[in-house]
Amino acid sequence: MIAVDEAPYPLGMPEGDTIHRAAAALRRGLLGRELTRVELPRLRPPLPAIGASIQRIEARGKHLLIGSSDGLIVHTHLRMTGSWHLYRPGEPWRKSARAARVVLGVDTATAVCFSAPIVEVLDRRALRRHPTLRALGPDLCDPTADLDEATARLGRLIEGARTIGEALLDQRVACGVGNVYRCDVLFLHGLHPATPVRAVEVTTRRSLLATSAELLQANLDGEMRTTVPGSPAGTLWVHGRRGEPCRRCGTPIEIDRLGEHARYVYWCPVCQPGPTEASVRPPAPPAPGAGGGDA
Ligand SMILES: [Zn+2]
């Protein structure tokens, strides 16, 4: 069984790397094979047909798309609660069948999505017009992601006193970044999560996105997410380390809630001092070619 499991509270929702790993595992199990079992218990037809073959399995940020030869696409988003499991034929499921939201079987494997809050079947036209999917920024798990475009989106999406900690989680800026990466990337840049976006230089904004992309891509293969190079698997800079000593200065890591969804943020109060009046001054205009989009 391959589980692409939900993270326990308060670690939060699976990040882009989790979904890309899920897509890779599901491709190995399902791609090119004919469906022998299709169950989407809460949805009405049209549903992918028995006998249709699985043609495409794609992660877009934290969204997973499974396309079949009859032109339909199963779209799931796991949020905080969902998980995908891949079972061999006859292997017992590790969660209750009542929690299954999607069951897609082929002769050699059964893929089951448990407890996902977003499950829908789209045709190609609906996929192209999907408001959430269309609005997604560049996928930072993709090595060809356009960081200039993501930087420009970050500039465009500033609303009022929006903080950099909230902006990094906004999937319209760039998709894939979740709570672990946003906390650790801000630590690596010495930025307090509550720093207003307008106080962050454009070159630093681009660097935050570049570091996020680097860490997401470095974790596409590993079992345990790691952000500290050369450390044991699972080692993180600040995320999930409330009260533990900062790996750079030894100060206990702090935790608080930030933004409208009140997600937990972790930071080092010494390495990431709070935004001061001086740091909140408007940033200098961007250098030509620095990414722009700061209007
Ligand atoms: Zn520190």
**In the prediction, which pLDDT does 224 show?**
82
**In the prediction, which pLDDT does 292 show?**
36
Tell whether the model's pLDDT for residue 88 goes beyond 90.
yes
Q: Quick check: is 62 catalytic?
A: yes
Q: How far is the CA of 227 from the centre of ligand 1 (A)?
A: 15
Q: How far is the CA of 172 from the centre of ligand 1 (A)?
A: 30
Q: How far is the CA of 215 from the centre of ligand 1 (A)?
A: 20
Helix axes 147-156, 202-218, angle to 10 degrees: 130
Assign domain 147-280 to its CATH architecture: Orthogonal Bundle (1.10)
**In the prediction, which pLDDT does 263 show?**
83
Q: How far apart, in whole angstroms, are the C-alpha atoms of residue 75 and residue 59?
A: 10
Q: Which residue has the tokens 């080692």?
A: 235
Q: How far apart, in whole angstroms, are the C-alpha atoms of residue 63 and residue 75?
A: 7
Within the chain, all domains assigned CATH 3.20.190.10 are found at: 2-135
Q: How far is the CA of 208 from the centre of ligand 1 (A)?
A: 18
Per cent of the chain over pLDDT 70 is 88
**In the prediction, which pLDDT does 79 show?**
85
Options 15, 48, 193, 275, the catalytic residue: 15
The residues facing 74 across adjacent strands are: 66, 121
- With b for 16 or more beta-carbon neighbours within 10 A and e for fewer, the 240-259 pattern comes to bbeeeebbeeeeebbbeebb
**In the prediction, which pLDDT does 162 show?**
87
Q: How far is the CA of 292 from the centre of ligand 1 (A)?
A: 31
Return left, alpha or beta for 152; rule: phi > 0 is left, psi -120 to 50 is alpha, else beta.
alpha
Options 6, 48, 62, 166, the catalytic residue: 62
**In the prediction, which pLDDT does 260 show?**
72
Options 6, 14, 48, 275, the catalytic residue: 14
Confidence of residue 2 (pLDDT cuts 50, 70, 90): low
Tell whether the torsion through CA atoms of 77, 122, 29 and 221 is positive or negative.
Answer: negative
pLDDT in tens, 193-250: 999 999 999 999 999 999 999 999 999 887 788 999 999 989 999 999 999 999 999 9
Q: How far is the CA of 271 from the centre of ligand 1 (A)?
A: 4
CATH for 2-135 is 3.20.190.10
Q: Quick check: is 229 catalytic?
A: no
Q: How far apart, in whole angstroms, are the C-alpha atoms of residue 148 and residue 169?
A: 17
- Strand ranges inside 173-288, DSSP E: 254-258, 263-267
pLDDT in tens, 167-183: 999 999 999 999 999 99
Tell whether the model's pLDDT for residue 286 goes beyond 60.
no
Q: How far is the CA of 156 from the centre of ligand 1 (A)?
A: 31
Q: How far is the CA of 257 from the centre of ligand 1 (A)?
A: 19
Across 108-135, average pLDDT = 96
The residues facing 87 across adjacent strands are: 110
Q: How far is the CA of 269 from the centre of ligand 1 (A)?
A: 7
Do 272 and 21 form a contact (C-beta atoms < 8 A)? no
Helices (H), the chain: 16-30, 124-129, 131-135, 147-156, 164-169, 179-188, 202-218
Within the chain, all domains assigned CATH 1.10.8.50 are found at: 147-280
CA distances from 109 to 55, 93, 188, 286 (A): 16, 12, 41, 52
The residues facing 294 across adjacent strands are: none
DSSP 3-state of 133: helix
Q: Quick check: is 8 catalytic?
A: no
**In the prediction, which pLDDT does 160 show?**
60
pLDDT in tens, 250-284: 999 999 988 877 789 999 999 999 876 544 444 44
User: Of the candidates 207, 216, 190, which has an alpha carbon nearest to the alpha carbon of residue 275?
Assistant: 190
Q: How far apart, in whole angstroms, are the C-alpha atoms of residue 51 and residue 77?
A: 25
Q: How far apart, in whole angstroms, are the C-alpha atoms of residue 33 and residue 196?
A: 49
pLDDT mean across residues, the chain: 88
Contacts of 230 (CB under 8 A, 6+ apart): none
Confidence of residue 1 (pLDDT cuts 50, 70, 90): low
